[in-house]
């Protein structure tokens, strides 16, 4: 196995909260899956959790070297929680196809958030040989 790429992103929580306030469901449905929305909406401060997921998707797109768009869209990357509570990322559609084509077998993500900022990093690992 070898590292395919790494990525990091930091987001101002109030930027995401403002976008949710201005655009509501249009914003949420464009960037977050149903599962992500279900989780975040149940939190004490949903905007903070949305910001962490936004940062995770940006970090993953950097680790993959794709940016957000043609090979890995917003809704094709889904940040979920494992049974232990650790963040995991699921890939759908073209993003899943891209990982398979590139031999990427693991993408690890780490999230953090504080009052004003949310951040994430990602490591994509490729199977070799």
Catalytic residue IDs: 62, 113
Locus of tokens 């940040």: 79
Q: At what angle do helices 34-41 and 46-64 cross, to 10 degrees?
A: 140
Tokens representing 127 are 């199977």
Is the distance from CB of 85 to CB of 75 less than 8 angstroms? no
Question: In Å, what is the CA distance from 22 to each residue of 14, 16, 31, 35, 113?
Answer: 12, 10, 15, 22, 22
Residues pairing with 121 in the sheet: 8, 110
């Amino acid at each position: 196995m070898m590292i395919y790429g790494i990525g990091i992103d930091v987001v101002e929580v109030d930027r995401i909260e403002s976008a949710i306030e201005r655009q509501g469901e249009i914003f949420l449905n464009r960037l977050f899956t149903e599962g992500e929305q279900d989780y975040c909406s149940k939190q004490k401060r949903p905007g903070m959790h949305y910001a962490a997921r936004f940062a995770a998707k940006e970090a993953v797109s950097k680790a993959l070297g794709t940016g957000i768009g043609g090979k890995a869209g917003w809704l094709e990357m889904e940040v979920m929680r494992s049974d232990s509570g650790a963040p995991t990322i699921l890939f759908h559609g073209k993003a899943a196809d891209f990982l398979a084509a590139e031999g990427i077998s693991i993408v690890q993500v780490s999230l953090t958030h504080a009052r004003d900022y949310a951040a994430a990093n990602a490591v994509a690992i490729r199977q070799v040989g």
